[in-house]
Chains A and B, each alone.
Chain A
Amino acid sequence: MFLRLSRDNIRGLLLIAPVMTLIIGLLIIPLILVVITSFGSRSPDGNVIYGFSFDNYRRLLGITPTGFDPLYLEILLRSLWLALQTTVAVIVIGFPLAYFIARASPRYRNLFLFLVLVPLWTNFVIRIYAWLMILRNQGVLNSLLGWGASLLGLPFQPLDLYPSDGAVLVGMIYEFLPFMILPIYTSLEKIDDSLFEAAADLGADALRTFLRVTLPLAVPGMVAGTILVFVPVMGTFIVADILGGRQVILVGNLVQRQFLDARDAAFGSAAALILMALTLVVTIFYTRRFGFGEEIVSA
């Protein structure tokens, strides 16, 4: 078999060549290297000894020579649970905001969208440090509460908000909220006003119009937003590092520490691949169930 190259084929290949080079060079090859590394082990001086053993994967699943140790499985489950909580929270917070923007007069819509995006101009890490300043013991929130309590003459004990799981969740929600607001906004903004009028005309009050028309037509946005939020939350380590005070360990932290602190690239690679597989499985399951929503929109 050989590929018949017509002039058009050559032209097409030339056009996609730069992109393909990038994808192969910076994604496919590194990924293959990670897969190879994950079957190796760590030498005493921190280098990788290449080989073919499933030891790293056994360790991740908790199968050790001394018995079952669920340490890493707990990390995986904790990451999943946090990503789930974050996704649900950004939908709950983001939907009303997106709805408000989509229903605002066109003159203000762009201003509101701009305001949603403004925080993204500041560095990701700096924004998380800002939350540290707000949540820590002598932070902004506790100072405000203490000041309020002293005005009312109440005794005040600073709240232990940082470091904690809750602080990590707050940080995640804050970081990823715009990525839910924007796709939901896009879905809502596309709904023709006449559909709301048609629902009202056929006897649906505001609540039933919302439940039967607005909400179902916003599903594509929520699906897209969920993928945009869930996947990065699964892998992010900075938020947990800063707001969890190095006590909240997620898969992302595990991978980072194996590479940088423990210098066990082989185990880190295995953890990274497990994270990827987990994210992929959840995403595939999710899109199988809800689709990407396009079948609803393309009316």
Chain B
Amino acid sequence: MPEYAVELRDVSKRFPGPSGEIVNAVKNVSLQIRDGEFFSLLGPSGCGKTTSLRMIAGFELPTEGEVYIHGRPMGQTPPYRRPVNTVFQNYALFPHMTIGENVAFGLEMKGVPKAEREKRVKEALEMVRLPGFEKRRPRQMSGGQQQRVALARALINHPEVLLLDEPLGALDLKLRKEMQLELKRLQREVGITFIYVTHDQEEALTMSDRIAVMSGGRVLQVGPAHEIYEKPNCKFVADFIGETNLLEGKVIHQHGRQVEVLLAGGLTAHAESDQSLVSGQQVFVAIRPEKMALRPYDGAHNVYVGRVEEVVYIGTDTHYTVRLAGGQRVRVREQNDDPFSRPLANSGDEVRVYFDQTPARVLTE
């Protein structure tokens, strides 16, 4: 049995809510996070991702189930005895201490002698590209700099796992992009397992080795970015990650992975599924806008007639909103590779929409 950096086994967390009701924040979550992995917990607010992270850190204890860190059950272990460190969303730097004192805090608690502390603080600040900032105060620094200090303060302790709770949430877009690359670089450099909580799907897709998509306290799908994007296993994941067209219908029949679905207005769709479905089952066919085409090509499994309702030019691509004969409205994304970026169709034109069977996924609710 492989040993994971962090493992959650059937973990649940219930809270008393503000008006006495019970809130099921996390429901029977099992996760295996590998050593050295950049792992993201992705989901909308209230999906249980932060609570899961806090249970790994020890700020919350699971109501049921167990958290293992490198195979050791954590049980009631308080945060200060766990081999993990956290980077908080609001950085949580100590305002009454200098940057140097902040970064040295963990070493000081471990009883590391002062001379060594100073040496390692210097190295840690160099690592996050803030050399010589020891004497500053947190309030004298920008949000991005404070974020780097928070990183240095956590990483200086060489934790077995670094937990990051939406660390870039408070930064502006440009800085966030920079910090994403910086975090990725740091993670490669130190080789520590990162568990990263975010609601930003793009952030999760760019940075993570693997992603767990959460909703309503449950883990819906775990996998690398391309798998989550290309092969979502349920309607929520398809909808939450990127943009997708969802066509409602009923299963006609299934042959292996290939499924034929009857859509509204008598259209049939050829799509794929890993699940076994029964005839007549209510399903959705999910197809990404960029996997659909207005330009005809040979061998397309699905061809529908429709009328263009809206054309939106966004530079590299143009988005066409098309109303299909069955009444469904779909978004088609076409690259502007024509030298003059002339639109393939104008609003009101009748067009044909083409797509293949493989990228069309049959999903259940």
Contacts and interface: CB of A to CB of B under 8 A. Distances in A.
Nearest to A208: B109
Contact of B92 (A192, A205, A296): A192
Interface string B83-116: 0111011101111100000000110011000000
Interface stretch (A59-67, A196-204, A276-284): A196-204
Contacts, number: 70
Contacts of B92: 192, 194-195, 197-198
Interface size class of B (residues with CB under 8 A): 20 to 34
Nearest to A191: B95
Given A197-B59, A201-B57, A201-B80, A299 B138 contact: yes
B139 interface: yes
A202 B88 contact: no
Contacts of B89: 194
Given A213-B94, A296-B96, A202 B85 contact: yes
A298 interface: yes
Contact of B85 (A195, A201, A204, A299): A201
Given A192-B90, A213-B94, A204 B139 contact: no
B105 A202 contact: yes
A214 to B, nearest CB: 11
A96 interface: no
B65 interface: no
B279 to A, nearest CB: 53
Contacts of A194: 88-90, 92
B139 A216 contact: no
B76 to A, nearest CB: 14
Nearest to B105: A202
B86 A201 contact: yes
A200 B80 contact: yes
A217 interface: yes
Given A198-B86, A205-B80, A216 B96 contact: yes
B157 interface: yes
A200 B109 CA distance: 10
Given A200-B80, A201-B86, A204-B109, A299 B95 contact: yes
A200 B139 contact: no
Contacts of B79: 197, 200-201
B153 interface: yes
Contact of A203 (B59, B90, B110, B138): B110
Interface string A284-299: 0000000000001111
A298 B96 CA distance: 10
Most buried by B among A195, A201, A205, A216: A201
B78 interface: yes
Contacts of A205: 78, 80
B106 A197 contact: no
Contacts of A192: 90, 92
B110 A198 contact: no
Nearest to A213: B94
Interface string B52-81: 000001110000000000000000001110
Contacts of B157: 202-203
Interface string A106-150: 000000000000000000000000000000000000000000000
Given A194-B92, A195-B94, A202 B139 contact: no
Nearest to B153: A202
Interface in A59-96: none
Given A204-B80, A299-B138, A198 B109 contact: no
A197 B79 CA distance: 8
Contacts of B58: 200
B138 to A, nearest CB: 6
Contacts of B78: 200, 205
A203 B95 contact: no
Contacts of B95: 217, 296-297, 299
Contacts of B90: 192, 194
B88 A198 contact: yes
B106 A203 contact: yes
Given A194-B88, A198-B94, A299 B139 contact: yes
Nearest to A195: B92
Interface string B136-158: 01110000000000000110010
Contacts of A201: 57, 59, 79-80, 84-86, 154
Contacts of A213: 94
22 contacts: A192-B92, A194-B88, A194-B90, A194-B92, A197-B57, A198-B88, A200-B79, A200-B80, A201-B79, A201-B85, A201-B86, A202-B109, A203-B80, A203-B109, A203-B110, A203-B157, A205-B78, A208-B109, A213-B94, A216-B96, A217-B96, A298-B139
Give 4 nearest A-B pairs by CB, closest first. Answer: A299-B95, A203-B109, A202-B106, A194-B92
Given A201-B84, A202-B85, A212-B94, 6 more contacts: A197-B88, A200-B59, A201-B57, A201-B86, A201-B154, A205-B80
Interface of A: 192, 194-195, 197-205, 208, 212-213, 216-217, 219, 296-299
Interface of B: 57-59, 78-80, 84-86, 88-90, 92-96, 105-106, 109-110, 137-139, 153-154, 157
